[in-house]
Each structure stands twice: as structure tokens, then as C-alpha cells.
Amino acid sequence: MIVEISPVATTDVDAVAALARVVWQDAYPGIITQAQIDFMLEQRYNAPRLLQELATPDIWWDKAMLDGQLAAFASTLPTATPGEMKLDKIYVDPARQRHGLGGRLIAHVSARLLARGGHTLILAVNKRNERALAAYRKHGFTLREAVRVDIGNDFVMDDFIMEKSLG
Ligand SMILES: CC(C)(COP(=O)(O)OP(=O)(O)OC[C@H]1O[C@@H](n2cnc3c(N)ncnc32)[C@H](O)[C@@H]1OP(=O)(O)O)[C@@H](O)C(=O)NCCC(=O)NCCS
């Protein structure tokens, strides 16, 4: 299995949005409602927004290609704390989960952050997303705090913030 990690390109936008839907439909039913899944996918993966983020140097979009096919992606953005970034998205094709791709992406982003003088990676994960919680613990994240964020349309993100010190 040949894995290649590289930046997401503007030509990848449709494939990223399509993979996001596949992963979300596999991961989130039972955790959030279908209405919230549809709302959040539209809010976060519409083409203009993805293209705008790709054009923003402080936002890192990375993809993992497995045997030439898009298998996973991640995006990372700065927080208000110097030296800290948030792993805002990390999604692996359900058929490719639990084979180390998520860990590879986390390592890739961590190395880049360290090389640029950063020290901490954080993320938000739904409190009931047991598989992701297990993955993040395995990859060195610990609990920082619990948050509830109103995202509009009566939807709430009921999350844990996790953190990982680098280096
Ligand atoms: C969470 C996610 C990014 C992890 O990436 P991954 O490539 O599957 O994970 P890795 O292979 O690097 O690490 C494997 C670990 O993740 C956890 N894990 C991943 N999939 C799992 C599953 N189906 N069941 C149980 N644990 C699972 C386990 O801790 C596993 O370690 P183990 O195999 O030694 O028990 C990926 O599974 C995913 O996209 N999940 C669905 C979407 C999601 O929840 N994304 C995170 C949003 S915050």
C-alpha cells in the first residue's frame, strides 16, 4: 500500500466534499441528527468556502492518497494562542480506517507545526464519537475541556477539546 500525503489542490475540492459525505454518513448517524449532518456538510464543504480556505496560507489542507485514490484529508488552522493550531477536520474513508492513515496525517501536521516553531495541536471531537476519541487518545491527545457551541439553526456541537503537546 503506497500512501502519499500532499496539499489539497483546488481540483480536489469536489472529491474532498464527496469523501466528507461518505465519512459523515458512516460516522455521525446516532451521534447527531441527519438534519445536522446535512447542515454542517453544506456549511463546511461548499465549493466557495473550500476554495477560499485553500487560498488562505494559514489554513493547511492535506490529503492522503492511497494507491492513487483520495483516502483521507485533514485541515488545520491557527487558534488565538501563538504556537497552537487546531486540527479542524480529519476524515478517513470508512474502507480505509484503522490502517494508520489518521495517525499519518496527525504526524504530518505535527511535524510541520513543530518545524514552524509551534508547540501544541488541539481538536474538537463530539463527546459521543467513541471511535475518534479512541483514535485521538492513541495518537497522544488528552482532554482539555468540554464545550457546547451553538452553530445556528438550533444545532449545537457538544464537544471535548483535546490537546497534544509536540516535541
Ligand atoms: C478518527 C479517524 C480520523 C482515525 O483515523 P484512522 O486512520 O481510522 O486511525 P488510525 O489507524 O491512525 O488509528 C487507529 C485507532 O483509531 C481508533 N479507531 C479507528 N477506527 C475505529 C473503529 N472503527 N473502531 C474502534 N476504534 C477505531 C482505535 O483507537 C484505533 O486503534 P487500534 O486499532 O489500535 O484499536 C478515522 O477513523 C475517521 O475518519 N473516523 C470517522 C470520522 C471521524 O470521526 N473523524 C473525526 C472527527 S473529530
**Confidence band for 167, pLDDT divided at 50, 70 and 90:** confident
Per-residue pLDDT at 1 exceeds 80: no
Q: Does the predicted TM-score (pTM) go above 0.95?
A: yes
Is residue 140 in contact with ligand 1, taking CB distance under 6 Å? Answer: no
Is residue 99 in contact with ligand 1, taking CB distance under 6 Å? Answer: yes
- List pLDDT tens digits, range 130-149: 999 999 999 999 999 999 99
Query: From the CA of 129, how far away is ligand 1's center (Å)?
Result: 10
Q: Residues 136, 162: contact at Cβ < 8 Å?
A: yes
Per-residue pLDDT at 121 exceeds 80: yes
Query: From the CA of 116, how far away is ligand 1's center (Å)?
Result: 27
- List pLDDT tens digits, range 155-165: 999 999 999 99
C-alpha grid cell for residue 64? 492522503
| pLDDT of 89 | 98
- List pLDDT tens digits, range 53-89: 999 999 999 999 999 999 999 999 999 999 999 999 9
Q: Which domains does the chain have, with CATH numbers?
A: 3-165 (3.40.630.30)
Q: Residues 65, 27: contact at Cβ < 8 Å?
A: no
Query: From the CA of 156, how far away is ligand 1's center (Å)?
Result: 23
Distances (CA, A) of 60 to 7, 10, 13: 8, 13, 14
- Per DSSP bridges, beta strands 84-92 and 155-165 are unpaired
| pLDDT of 128 | 96
